[in-house]
Amino acid sequence: MVTLGDTSFAKISLKDLLGRPLNDIEQKNAPEALYIKGKIALPLPGPRVSIVGSRKASPNGLADSRMIASKLVSNNVLIVSGLAEGIDTSAHIAAIRKGGQTVAVLGTPLDKSFPAKNFELQQKMMREYMAISQFEVGEAVKPKNFVMRNRTMALISDATIIVEASDRSGSLHQGWEAIRLGRPLFIWNSILKHNVKWYKDMIEHGALVLEDPTDVLEVLPTSSPIEPVQLLS
């Protein structure tokens, strides 16, 4: 883990981030405050889709993540992910290279970077896009932070796509939270060929198998324009 030198940030509420009040179901696992750094104007433009999955992803999983992010960005979708190694990183980078917008939701405070290899990417996100944390600068980093982060990602996203994940993946916390919130949850079709059990339960609870990334567009809310970025003080 790397500690960053610049600790300036803005403290906001989820209402500020989303541009609307939360309902009772959303409030259950919602953080009291968020700390953000970046240039995307608030409230966050939509639609917003989380692309998440394994940190130790296969080459095919990484390629699929890049392809999915690229296709969604081409349709004016903002990509949300957790800046973790693997699927998350590939989704963020693909969105950037495609000229789209992307938001990182961190499991650490804004003054720390994890994994350390994503230090430069996090710096870029905070300069040109946006990084969000529910953990105050200086707060200790605990394993439960990443579970809480995944629930927050589900909350701020209009839909979630799990690209690749083991039966113990932290991405499953986000999947179940999306189901609890009544948000669309998609399971990338290649997962059905993997030796994992988790997807069967999620499908029984309403998750959909995704064959074509553009199918996600059918369940997303009407797009709100992505405004030119502006510096948050």
How far is Cα 145 from Cα 136, in angstroms, rounded to an integer?
12
Residues 132-148: what's their mean pLDDT?
92
Residues 6+ away with beta carbon under 8 Å from 59: none
Other CB atoms closer than 10 Å to residue 48's CB: what's the count? 23
Q: How confident is the model at residue 3 (pLDDT cuts 50, 70, 90)?
A: very low
168-195 pLDDT, tens per residue?
999 999 999 999 999 999 999 999 988 8
Residues 6+ away with beta carbon under 8 Å from 143: none
Q: How confident is the model at residue 223 (pLDDT cuts 50, 70, 90)?
A: low
Q: What is the pLDDT of residue 115?
A: 87
Phi-psi sector, 201: left (phi>0), alpha (psi -120 to 50), beta: alpha
Residue 121 main-chain phi, psi, to 5 deg: -65, -40
Residues 130-141: what's their mean pLDDT?
92
SS (HEC) of 96-130: HHCCCCEEEEECCCCCEECCHHHHHHHHHHHHHCE
Q: How confident is the model at residue 221 (pLDDT cuts 50, 70, 90)?
A: confident
Domains (range + CATH), the chain? 2-219 (3.40.50.450)
Q: How confident is the model at residue 229 (pLDDT cuts 50, 70, 90)?
A: very low
CA distances in angstroms from 39 to 98, 116, 162, listed in the order given: 18, 23, 27
Q: How confident is the model at residue 222 (pLDDT cuts 50, 70, 90)?
A: confident
